[in-house]
Chains A and B, each alone.
Chain A
Amino acid sequence: MNFSTGTSRRRFLAGSAAAVGGFSLGFHIPAGDAAAQTPARPEINAWVVIRPDETVVIRVARIDMGQGTVTGLAQLVAEELECDWAKVTTEYPTPGQNLARNRVWGNFQTAGSQGIRQSQDYVRKGGAAARMMLIEAAAQSWKVPASECRVAAGVITHTPSGRSTTYGKVADAAAKLDPPKDIVLKDPKSWTIAGRPLPRLDTADKVDGRKVFGIDLVLPGMVNAAIKACPVFGGKLRGFDPASVAGRSGVKKVVAVGDNAVAVIADTWWHAQSALDALRIDWDEGPNARSSSATTAAMLREGLTAKEVFVGNQAGDPDAALAAAAKTVEATYSVPHQHHATMEPMNATARWSGGLDKVEVWCPTQNGESALATAAAASGLPPQQCEVYRIDLGGGFGRRATSHDYVRQAVLIAKEMPGVPVKLIWSREEDMLHGWYHPVTMCKLTGGLDAQGNLTALKMRISGQSILAGVNPNALQNGRDPITFQGLNPSGTEGRLGYAIPNLLIDHAMRNPPVPPGFWRGVNNNQNAVYLECFIDELAHAAGQDPLAFRRRMLGGSPKHLAVLDAVAERAGWSKPAPAGTFRGIAQHMGYGSYVAACAEISMTSSGQVKIHRIIAATDCGHVVNPQQVAAQIEGSFAYGLSAMLMQEITIKDGRVEQENFDTYPCLLLQDMPAVESIIMPSGDFWGGVGEPTIFVAAPAVLNAIFAATGKRIRDLPLKNHDLRKA
């Protein structure tokens, strides 16, 4: 156990009282010297502050973008703390404080469905340590052994004498104690706060307009900025004509931002954006001005048969087994670029305090530490002279995790206006044109069946874009991007291929078009599940077998994969025919540590439209912290994944994105949303994610149901490009 809260606490109280002031709003509003005078409140340890009025402030290192992580993490801390849940509130420490305190809060990254599963252990220990210190403080004041005291809902009682006190009364004394060495966590079976479908802590502000998103931030003396970067990826700013906006109302300055963008700074954002729209800009479109979706497709098609590849999973001798097969099946699939389209466009507010050489940024971010690093790099200042105040996101989905381009721009613009806070907001068009898009891939699959209909060999060639090559080339392993093989791995706890296939080769021809790739909710699991689960369906039909039975025969060695599949099949009544006019499809996958399966029920209208009636979804995520929020994530992931499958694609023409707004990049609406029945079946011996996993199975389940309904195999997404009317 190396959880040492005490030393860092002392360092914090001694060294950085000024940093404490801005916590309570969830982000920092500059208050000049007032912040420095704010007295430190009784911090029991990094995770827990108890105020004299009994309010329990739980610090959260990860962030909320709608997924409920803040409530879930607070439940885990409160569970061990044994406090009164009704008195719990939360606050975000800043990345700068984390830096100053030797990363006492650990990782801030909120992506990869890891917010809870990768911090549950140390935050629970933080809650337990605080409880032990509070009890110890009470025991010392009564001069009795702590073992004679117990606590319930923040009230400590000395059992033999019946004396009692509260957390708020002993917090000051507890804060001075050394942290305990041996911490035993509760058995989840005895949880009373965690594991329950408690209401979120942050709903009330979201129903009356009170909640302040980054885009809503107003600081004293603030100005607004609008920006355009070269619409062609890799292009540069050659020049602009300030005279074209001279005299426009509210405009303060027109500035180049880095080497590829120009911004207008004005009193209001509307003035800034409308001036920007009128600004004459000269772009150097650079080397990619001719690239298009067609040139990308040609590049990927070549990769389908390329010799130089990276291997993800292999067994036996697939070529020999295919040659010996009684029947072979081959198919090629493709999934296009997609955009995150968070409801709240990219934005960040920055203030450059010229005299003090300090940069402050207020922004929505999935990784405050990465935002801080970006602010430091953009300003040229050491990170110790920068600070980032995190604000809840109006959607993240991966867009605000690795790429803080909007932070970099805001800092560069703020440098032009020393001492003045500048709020940069991207127009929706800018947001669409400068995403970090779901990678584009194609996949060629070849399967061999023996005379009994067993799958004896499978080859799966993925050709296409690597996310790591685009966002973090240092993480490549001898050029190979391991993330490409999500859900297809031979082993591991993150995403293992469940099927036992004796002769197997899964490999990747990396082909990177000049379009920035990014982590997009579900990431590579999305297309991997479409490719494999639709092709397995094809093989089942070629073998003359029921798609469920065909899968089950290969999942004997993967009981958790099998259990979620069986659960949806049973709920759907798979053994009986679907009601007249409705058709079913099934799929399973494992990713981000969780096992998921879905069964979709659809019908077709006479005009060839798909109507998705119901999706039954099962997830085994090991432990469940808040079941009603897990259910919300399952539904939300389906809306996101089905939007992409049904109607979304980013296409490139002349080196730029063609879809500039929701009119050409539509999203699923309430009218399209199927009923979702969640089966949450935690098996208890691991911690899996929930924000993403179920998204993997929505598309393949629906696509397999479309085949059942129409006999047509949709192999190229999105569905809108296909005519499903009866011939």
Chain B
Amino acid sequence: MRLTVNGRTHDLNVDPDTPLLWVIREQIGLTGTKYGCGVAQCGACSVHVDGEVVRSCSLPVSAFGPDQKIVTIEGLSAGAVHPIQQAWIALDVPQCGYCQSGQIMAAAALLAKTPKPNDEQIAEAMQNICRCGTYNRIKAGIKQAAGIAG
């Protein structure tokens, strides 16, 4: 089985039912993508597949082909220069940080499609749980990255 993650191809010998999340974490060794629920409820495991946000805990690795571009938090940018990452640093968005890979991947996908999202669009796209409660800074971070005032 072959996967393309962050621009690199990986030849893997895994059970086809293994969720993409655990292939990313345990086979490829990229641990920035987190396990939070395993049932597509929390968003901690969010990655991009061909630009779409996917909750990687709930899809088997067999659902993905070698031509699909999988991007994890480690591959979002080189040197954390994505505007979302920069805004996150500027505003000290993370508290514990555990949910933040997923939050950042969801926010980056939102801006890729909707460069100037309004409040409803932000709320609709950001369905990830943050138990530390960083939501208001997440919202401010998205606006800052999008260049939207307030």
Contacts and interface: CB of A to CB of B under 8 A. Distances in A.
A153 interface: no
Contact of B31 (A68, A216, A662, A668): A216
A101 interface: no
A395 to B, nearest CB: 5
Interface residues of B, number: 58
B136 A673 contact: yes
Contacts of A200: 92
Contact of A341 (B35, B80, B131, B136): B131
B29 A343 contact: no
A224 B35 CA distance: 15
Interface in B63-81: 72-74, 76-77, 80
Nearest to B103: A670
A206 B92 CA distance: 10
Interface stretch (A5-13, A131-139, A409-417, A631-639): A631-639
Size range of the chain A interface in the assembly: 35 or more
Contacts of B115: none
A694 B118 CA distance: 30
Given A207-B104, A270-B22, A344 B98 contact: yes
Contacts of A519: none
Interface in B23-42: 25-27, 29-39, 41-42
Interface in B96-150: 96-101, 104, 122-124, 126-139
B56 interface: no
A670 B122 contact: yes
Contact of B41 (A203, A345, A661): A661
Given A208-B74, A268-B26, A635-B136, A345 B35 contact: yes
A207 B80 contact: yes
B129 A395 contact: no
Contacts of A396: 96
Interface in B1-57: 15, 18-19, 22, 25-27, 29-39, 41-42, 44
B72 A209 contact: yes
A310 interface: no
A37 B2 CA distance: 43
Contact of A270 (B26, B72, B96): B26
B37 A662 contact: yes
Contacts of A209: 30-33, 72-74, 101
Contacts of A635: 133-137
Given A207-B89, A632-B92, A343 B36 contact: yes
B131 A342 contact: yes
Contact of B96 (A66, A207, A216, A628): A66
A667 interface: yes
A453 interface: no
Contact of B42 (A218, A662, A673, A676): A662
B138 A670 contact: yes
Contacts of B32: 208-211
A380 B135 CA distance: 45
Interface in A621-643: 628-629, 632, 635-640
A650 interface: no
B134 A669 contact: no
Q: Which of B19, B72, B134 has the most CB of A within 10 A?
A: B134
Contacts of B41: 661-663
Given A209-B73, A632-B92, A670-B122, A637 B133 contact: yes
Contact of B100 (A65, A68, A207, A639): A207
B126 A205 contact: no
A341 B31 CA distance: 20
Contact of B92 (A203, A210, A638, A667): A203
A249 interface: yes
Given A673-B133, A673-B135, A636 B26 contact: no
A636 B123 contact: no
Given A203-B94, A208-B73, A344 B133 contact: no
Nearest to B79: A208
B80 A208 contact: yes
A64 B35 CA distance: 20
Given A661-B41, A662-B41, A670 B19 contact: no
Nearest to B90: A199
A427 interface: yes
A394 interface: yes
A541 to B, nearest CB: 31
A650 to B, nearest CB: 15
A395 B131 CA distance: 7
A675 B140 CA distance: 11
Nearest to A638: B133
Contacts of B122: 670
Max chain B Cβ within 10 angstroms of own Cβ: one of A66, A215, A663 = A66
B89 A428 contact: no
A64 B31 CA distance: 20
A343 B102 CA distance: 12
A204 interface: yes
Contact of B88 (A66, A203, A392, A671): A203
Given A632-B92, A662-B36, 17 more contacts: A202-B97, A208-B80, A209-B33, A213-B34, A216-B31, A343-B42, A343-B44, A344-B34, A394-B34, A395-B132, A427-B38, A635-B135, A662-B129, A670-B126, A670-B135, A670-B139, A671-B127
Top 6 A-B pairs, shortest CB-CB distance: A209-B32, A639-B133, A394-B98, A66-B95, A66-B96, A206-B97
16 contacts: A207-B104, A208-B32, A208-B85, A216-B25, A218-B29, A224-B26, A269-B26, A342-B131, A343-B98, A345-B36, A395-B132, A428-B36, A636-B95, A640-B131, A663-B41, A670-B122
Interface of B: 15, 18-19, 22, 25-27, 29-39, 41-42, 44, 72-74, 76-77, 80, 85, 88-89, 92-101, 104, 122-124, 126-139
